[in-house]
Structure formats: C-alpha cells, structure tokens
Amino acid sequence: MAVTSIILNLVLLSITYSEGAKWTYKGPDGETNWSKNYPYCGGVFQSPIDFEPELLRYDHSLTQIELLHYNLSDKELLTLVNNGHSVQLSLPSRMSLSGLSHRYSAAQLHLHWGSQSLPAGSEHTINGKRFPAEMHVVHFNSDKYPNVSVAADRADGLAVLGVLIEVGRFNPAFDRFLTYIDGIKYKNQTVKIPAFNIRELLPDQLDEFYRYDGSLTTPPCYPSVLWTVFRTPISISHTQFLGLATTVYSSTVGDDSPVTLSGNYRRTQNPGDRTVLVNFQEGDGMQGVDTATSPLRRRQAIQKLLASSLAKATHKEAPQIQPRISHTLDSSKKWENWENKHILGQSTLKENLPKLKAGSLLLKLWNSRITGLSEESLCYSTVEKRTMLELKKAHLKNRLAEALREVVFPALNLGSYL
C-alpha cells in the first residue's frame, strides 16, 4: 500500500509538471508562490544559498573537476533559445565531467542576471555579496540515465557548475553567443550559432570551489543537484551585461506590453542542516579544518542500506553514515521557509508528501527532521544519526530499508537510490 501511494503521488506530480504551470520571478506567479504548483520549491535542500563562513567546512579530499570535450568545433551548430526565463545554449552530451562518482554529460548552459537599475543578479552569494550575473552549466548522470529529462528528478541525477560573473573586462568568449542575442529577443525564439570552446566561458582556475547538495533553482525545484560553484568569478563588460539586461523579453512576439527579461534569479534559500564543503582555507570563518565525509560518499552509504541488507554496511562504512558532530535535537525548533517564514506543519506535509504509514518505524524520525534540524552536518544528518543507532542495536534488514524508503525519500524516484 505504501509503495502504491508513493507511485500515485509521483504520477500526480508528473502530471502537474507536464501541464507546465505558469511561473515567473515576480507577481502572483512569482517565487513566493512557486510551491503552490511545485511542492518541491517549498521543501528542503533548496538552492541557491549564501556561502556564509559558518557553513563552510574544509575537505582536503575534494579534487578538481576535469572538463572533457569542451573544445567544440565551429563546424558544429548549437541552439540558442529564449525560453522566457533565461537565455539558454544547448550543449552536446559528449561534453562531460570527470572527477565525480559518475560520468555527468552536458545538456545546456543558461544565465541569470540582474537589471539595468539593480545589476546584482547572481543566484548564489558569497557572505551576502550578490554578483551581477551567474552562469549554470547543467550536466546529467549519463551512467544511469538516458537524458537530462529522465535524470532531473533523480537523487543523483544532476551536476551543475556555477560560475559567478562580475562586470569589468570585455569577455570575447561570451560574445561568441551574445552576438546572436538579437535573434532571440522574444520568448520561444531560437537561432543556430557556431560552436566554440565552452571551456573559455569558465574561470581560468577551477581548483577552488564550493560543493554542496541542492536543487534546481527554478520550478519544479527538484532536490537532485550536486552543485560545484567556482570561487573565482569571471568578467564581462558593462555593454555585454546590458545586452542581457535590456535586449531580451520574457513575452512573446506581438505582445501588447512586452516585459523585459531581467532580474531572473531566485533569492537565497535556507541552508537548513547542510554544510558546504570547500577545498580552500582562508581567514577565521573556516571554523578550522574539517574531515567531514563528502556528500557523495555519505549518499552512497545510504544507497547501500536501501539496495541490500544492513549486513553489507561494514564497519568501515558505518562512520560515513554517522553525522560528524552529534547534536541533541531541539523539539521546540521549527524549520521555516526562508522567504515566507512559513512553518512547515502538518498541513504542508499532507499537501506535499505521500501519506506516511501509521506506525512506520521511522515516523518519529521524520517529524524530528521537520521540527529539529541539526545545524552542523551534511544532508541526511538526522536520518543518519537514527540509522546509526539502529545499526548498533540490531540488523533490522528489510524492515529498516523499507522504512527508509517510506520516510526519508517519499517524493523522489525510489529507483534512483537503488
């Protein structure tokens, strides 16, 4: 019955998304109301976030991402489109990332930017500082999924590179596609452009970055993204920035009142109980050197619990499941929506999540996750803490695995954790 309920909810959610509910950045369909049609947007692990010093933890094991086949031939054509929310450039799937737990193939890149009057328009911020723009290069897990559409709502489906953009020097690489922006002034317009070396759009140095588990920054806001945001920004000229902020529209051709496409960024979200891993150290804000397990290894440990019996979770893997710092959860603490300050209570759970089976082994665990979040650990910290206690008590095998399926991952595709 529990599995049937989950499948039914997934079907209903997919119908909602396929109907393409309207969303905007401002007005009645703006981001404060996204969760009405897209429940994940009001959930946990949302992006973007502010990289404030208190969240950062140094992890010396983080290795630099390697970019494969980013140098495209100009004999190839790429599609540049105005999708009404951003300017998006299609990318061939032979472009990929190396250095993560899976092969992630490229799908597209797009931009977020401010306006002529309010130029700050990046989505991620560094210690409260918002940059004029931000570029996202979206990749999907091609080891497991055939395309980005299938991967989008899977737990390990996406890896996105985030590049912060400041206004300064002219950027010839950006002009390789900004030159064609007049051809996509209006929503749904597309133009074919010659391919080029996409690597030139990224910072010269890729060895310092922020890494965390998050979500899509636009509806449906699936919490399926492994984010890598480079510490070093790139630069574009003021003229190039204005080309984005003043040239394109979010409305279609012939609209009586065309709306300029600007300020297309989501505000920073509550980091909740997440920690941002970094591979650099600087200043007093780093809170010392940390040897926290990477999100990928911790996720793999949870996957093993779901995929097979607990007997396969060896003594070497058990510490990967355990939170780095043990906390006593404060039952009086409520997890709030960062923007609305709306307490996520029982009504929200009923609306957004499948019903939990009465008497489920980890029902209390789920309640504690909503009402008492640990502040010093990575994703799944509360779940992991309770799981560790269960591991020490006995090998509950299928009973614990089934409870994890029901409670921990109620609304994502279950197959992605197996």
Residue 205 and residue 336 in one domain:
no
The dihedrals phi and psi of 228, each to the nearest 5 degrees, come to -130, 105
- What is the 8-class DSSP label of residue 358? T
The dihedrals phi and psi of 138, each to the nearest 5 degrees, come to -95, 130
Residue 352 and residue 203 in one domain:
no
The mean per-residue pLDDT over the stretch 277-294 comes to 60
Round to whole Å and give the CA distance between 277 and 56: 6
Cβ proximity of 151 and 145 under 8 Å: yes
Q: Is the dihedral of CA 383, 138, 23, 242 positive or negative?
A: positive
In the predicted structure, residue 319 carries a pLDDT above the cut 50: no
What pLDDT does 317 receive? 43
Cβ proximity of 141 and 156 under 8 Å: yes
Residue-wise pLDDT tens digits, 124-171: 999 999 999 999 999 999 999 999 999 999 999 999 999 999 999 999
Active-site positions? 85
Residue 308 and residue 278 in one domain:
no
Residue showing tokens 């502010």:
50
Residue 274 and residue 300 in one domain:
no
Last residue of a domain, one of 284, 304, 332: 284
Beta-sheet pairing, 50-51 with 125-126: parallel
Please enumerate, as own/partner, the contacts of 354-359 that have beta carbons within 8 Å and a separation of 24 or more.
354/2, 354/5, 354/6, 354/8, 354/9, 354/410, 354/411, 355/5, 356/406, 356/407, 356/410, 357/1, 357/2, 357/406
In a domain, 246, yes or no: yes
Q: What does each C-alpha distance from 312 to 42, 246, 302, 395 come to in angstroms?
A: 35, 57, 11, 10
Cβ proximity of 378 and 292 under 8 Å: yes
In a domain, 40, yes or no: no
CATH number at residue 124: 3.10.200.10
Residue-wise pLDDT tens digits, 86-104: 999 999 999 999 999 999 9
The mean per-residue pLDDT over the stretch 258-264 comes to 96
How many domains does the chain divide into? 2
Beta strands in 142-181 (DSSP E): 158-167
The mean per-residue pLDDT over the stretch 43-70 comes to 95
Cβ proximity of 162 and 174 under 8 Å: no
Last residue of a domain, one of 238, 265, 284: 284
Residue 383 and residue 268 in one domain:
no
**pLDDT, averaged across the chain:** 76
Give the model's confidence band at 283: pLDDT under 50 very low, under 70 low, under 90 confident, else very high: low
Residue 262 and residue 309 in one domain:
no
Round to whole Å and give the CA distance between 358 and 3: 14
Q: Is the dihedral of CA 335, 133, 187, 216 positive or negative?
A: negative
Residue-wise pLDDT tens digits, 221-233: 999 999 999 999 9
Residue 270 and residue 309 in one domain:
no
Round to whole Å and give the CA distance between 250 and 24: 9
In the predicted structure, residue 342 carries a pLDDT above the cut 50: no
Tokens of 68: 């494969």
Cβ proximity of 131 and 233 under 8 Å: yes
Q: Is the dihedral of CA 309, 224, 382, 407 positive or negative?
A: negative
Beta bridge pairs of residue 87: 82
- What is the 8-class DSSP label of residue 94? T
In a domain, 33, yes or no: no
Residue 279 and residue 297 in one domain:
no
* Most confident stretch, 10-19, 26-35, 132-141, 296-305: 132-141
In the predicted structure, residue 6 carries a pLDDT above the cut 90: no
Residue 124 and residue 257 in one domain:
yes
Tokens of 110: 């797009």
Is residue 13 classed as helix, strand or coil in its secondary structure? Answer: helix
Taking each helix axis from N to C end, the angle separating 363-371 and 398-407, rounded to the nearest 10 degrees, works out to: 40
- What is the 8-class DSSP label of residue 249? B
Residue 319 and residue 336 in one domain:
yes
Residue 259 and residue 337 in one domain:
no
Residue 326 and residue 203 in one domain:
no
Beta-sheet pairing, 276-278 with 209-214: antiparallel
**What percent of the chain has a predicted confidence (pLDDT) above 70?**
62
Round to whole Å and give the CA distance between 199 and 221: 27
In a domain, 42, yes or no: no
What pLDDT does 41 receive? 97
What pLDDT does 21 receive? 73
What pLDDT does 12 receive? 38
Which residues constitute the domain of residue 147? 47-284
The lowest-confidence range among 247-261, 269-283, 373-387 is 373-387
Residue-wise pLDDT tens digits, 10-20: 333 333 343 45
In a domain, 12, yes or no: no
Got the DSSP string for 172-189? TTTHHHHTTGGGG-STT-
Identify the helix (H) or strand (E) that includes residue 17: helix 2-18
What pLDDT does 299 receive? 54
Residue-wise pLDDT tens digits, 377-410: 333 434 444 555 555 554 455 555 555 554 444 4
Residue-wise pLDDT tens digits, 172-204: 999 999 999 999 999 999 999 999 999 999 999
What pLDDT does 383 receive? 46
Round to whole Å and give the CA distance between 136 and 162: 5
Last residue of a domain, one of 227, 258, 284: 284
